Amino acid sequence: MRPFSYERATTPAAAALAARARPGAKFIAGGTNLLDLMKLQIETPAHLIDVGPLGLDRIEETPEGGLRIGALVSNSDLAGDARVRRDYGVLSRALLAGASGQLRNKATTGGNLLQRTRCPYFYDTAQACNKREPGSGCAAIGGFSRQLAVIGVSDHCIATHPSDMAVAMRVLDAQVETVNAAGETRAIPMAEFHRLPEDRPHIDTVLPPGDLITAVTLPRPIGGTHVYRKVRDRASYAFAVVSVAAVLQRDGTGRVAFGGLAHKPWRVEAAEAALPQGAKAVAAIALAGARPTHENAFKVTLAERTLAAVISDARG
């Protein structure tokens, strides 16, 4: 860990302003990922802006009939919220499939979206990683890649986004609300929030440096059966090998997003039209163009079979 200075923010706009004033500054909320990365010197911010005092920890109903989730709502509180459990079950289930009780108590909604990949080469500072050190190369390509991405990959990076929550939010068409140093707010659709690695894998999201997430909004409930199915090598406390977030309607239509496959939650709206035809038809479209490695080619099959399990369960 490098020495850093620290301040506590007073308002969201002031926090963004403080970040602009100190290039290389980072916001810190729960710190469940950032502190680990700082200890390993994967992240070396010279300045931390603690957004803890900002409040932003409420879940409110929106005029449109949806929910506005403050960026600092903990993963535990969000998963346990009665409205979330009733109307957005996929989100609650995704959250509870992730991490551990202790981590979910500390981790926040905004922080969860911004967590970094768990690619082991990203974590080993002796290894080449374009995400950690742009231009250094990618040791994961040709290396141990079983956990890594199969679609949306580039020659520069095959990392996955590790979040379960984000996959559910993607399937719910959530929007990420932000504020910048000028006090301007934006609403970024989840579809656009996380990027693909392309030739700049060190940039995970479209959020400009210094802009602060203030909330995530969910549109009005869409009904249906909500499923989050996470496949992993042990029953708990592991990142997804593959996961499926789905909202399935009685008429066979629905929405599907995949986790564990790509640099972002992977959802192909065009594929959803094939849901009435079953998992194979959906996967054929959603995973067209997959470029797996020898070690993770099974994920393509697994994604299809997991979706089949989800459809089968939802239809009871």
Burial of 57 (0-12, 13-18, 19+ CB in 10 A): middle
Per-residue DSSP letter, 2: -
Q: Is there binding between residue 294 and other proteins (CB under 8 A)?
A: no
Report the candidate in 254, 233, 258 with the shortest Cα–Cα distance to residue 243.
258
| Amino acid letter for position 135 | G
From candidates 72, 149, 166, 302, binder to other proteins by CB under 8 A: 302
- Name the residue with tokens 């040791």: 139
Q: Is there binding between residue 279 and other proteins (CB under 8 A)?
A: yes
Least separation in angstroms between CB 150 and other proteins: 12
Q: Site size for other proteins, by CB under 8 A?
A: 37
Residue with Cβ nearer other proteins (178 or 243): 243
Number of neighbouring beta carbons within 10 Å of residue 315: 10
From candidates 28, 34, 139, 172, binder to other proteins by CB under 8 A: 139
**CB under 8 Å to 192, separation ≥6 — which residues?**
206
**CB under 8 Å to 38, separation ≥6 — which residues?**
1, 2, 4, 44, 45
Least separation in angstroms between CB 212 and other proteins: 28
Taking residues 223 to 242 in sequence order and writing x for each that binds other proteins by CB under 8 A, - otherwise, the string is --------xxxxxxxxx-x-
Q: Is there binding between residue 103 and other proteins (CB under 8 A)?
A: no
Residue with Cβ nearer other proteins (9 or 38): 38
Q: Is there binding between residue 309 and other proteins (CB under 8 A)?
A: yes
Determine the Cα–Cα distance for residues 233 and 243; give it in Å rounded to an integer: 12
Report the candidate in 218, 278, 239, 262 with the shortest Cα–Cα distance to residue 89.
218
Single out the segment in contact with other proteins by CB under 8 A; choices: 49-57, 142-150, 171-179, 214-222. Answer: 142-150
Q: Which residues bind other proteins (CB under 8 A)?
A: 1-3, 39, 41, 118, 120-121, 123-124, 126-127, 139, 142-144, 146, 231-239, 241, 278-279, 298, 301-302, 305-306, 308-309, 312
